[in-house]
Amino acid sequence: MLFFFLWQVPHSWLLLGIHTRDYAKAGFPTLSKTFTNSQLGRMTFTWTAAAACAAMLFPMLGMFNHILSLVFLVAAAGWLGWHALPLIKKANCTGPGTGFSPHFRNINRYALAIMAILIIDHGIF
């Protein structure tokens, strides 16, 4: 539950970064009026890192049966962290919707990978 709670925040903020103009046209109040895209990117990076750290709790909670699952978990967290680094660079998030789409796909791929690792670990090993 903690993993999905921490995952949903960057997921939602990345959607906001992608669709800022659409939300503004619709008249919805959003964080984009309070924070710049650069600030939003840095906050999203922090929550993304927190989600990756929460997934690292799975082995300590006994949710994995095989060491190979741990290897894939660490590799997935490293991949997400590496691909999320541009979020903290100021130049990456200069305009509405710029630079957020790849990160949105990556955070969703990461959640899918975590679930696949759990399913395979409990189904095969």
- The pLDDT tens digits for 27-38 are 888 888 888 888
Does the predicted model carry a pTM greater than 0.85? Answer: no
Q: How far is CA 16 from CA 3, 84, 97, 100, 114, in A?
A: 20, 16, 8, 9, 24
**Mean pLDDT, each 10-residue run in order, the chain (125 residues):** 93 88 88 84 93 92 87 94 86 55 93 93 75
Q: What is the pLDDT of residue 44?
A: 92
Q: How far is CA 56 from CA 26, 68, 91, in A?
A: 39, 14, 30
Cβ atoms within 10 Å, residue 51: 26
Percent of the chain with pLDDT over 70: 91
Domain boundaries, the chain: 2-124
Name the CATH architecture for the domain at 2-124.
Answer: Up-down Bundle (1.20)
Tell me the Cα Rg of the chain. Answer: 16
Q: Which residue has the tokens 């998030």?
A: 93
